[in-house]
Amino acid sequence: MPADLTAANDSESPGQRRAAWMAAAQGGDRRAYEKLLGDSVALIRAAARRQGVAPDHLDDVVQETLITVHRVRHTYDPARSYDAWLTAIANRRAIDALRSRGRRDSRELQDDFALDRHPDADDASAATESEQRARRLHEAIAELPPGQREAVEQLGLKERSLDEAAELTGRNTGALKVNLHRALKTLRERFHGEP
């Protein structure tokens, strides 16, 4: 490592030291690059805080900024301020993080009881409840008079058209409609107490 990287000049500011490390890193000095990145973290955090990034998201902004610095390090002009160049990148990554967070927050449901009201599709208790409801419905259909049961099975469960059901059952469409209407009324009364 060159002596100017190990021995800090008392008259050299931290910004000048970082600029020198970046110039050396652009020349292939890996140790200078490592020192530069480590020393840049505080600047990135400060820029992100000024932009309003929450403390629990600062590390994400630091990481994204360092990745960007690595990708675009060849664009740094050693004649200019490294700190200003880095701060501009950090500000952009902070704004990106804030926008992303804003989009995510606008889509997220902020309800403490949402999971209780809307269980996952894979939730075993929801599947069991669904199976129990289906079983109770099939039992109720089985207890209907034969004409009503036939209308529900053909028109409701098998989703046949009136003409198809009439042809298969030998009943006319009017009789099927009346039987379906009566069956649905009976089932509503049984499950919901509605007439």
pLDDT tens track for 42-51:
999 999 999 9
Q: The pTM is what?
A: 0.49
If you search the block for the tokens 């207890």, which residue do you land on?
A: 143
Of the pLDDT bands very low, low, confident and very high (cuts 50, 70, 90), residue 117 is low
Cα–Cα distances in angstroms (integers) from residue 6 to residues 18, 40, 187, in the given order: 12, 17, 86
Task: Tell me the C-alpha distance between 93 and 89, whole Å.
Answer: 6
pLDDT in tens, 122-171: 566 666 887 888 888 889 889 999 998 998 888 888 888 888 888 888 99
More confident call, 119 vs 33: 33
Count the residues in the chain: 195
Cα–Cα distances in angstroms (integers) from residue 113 to residues 106, 110, 116, 121, 184, in the given order: 18, 9, 5, 16, 34
Predicted local confidence at residue 115, as pLDDT: 57
Pick the range with the lowest mean pLDDT from 3-12, 43-52, 61-70, 117-126.
3-12
Q: What percent of the chain has pLDDT over 90?
A: 42
E-strand ranges in the chain read: none
DSSP state of 19: H
Pick the range with the lowest mean pLDDT from 17-21, 28-32, 71-75, 97-101.
97-101
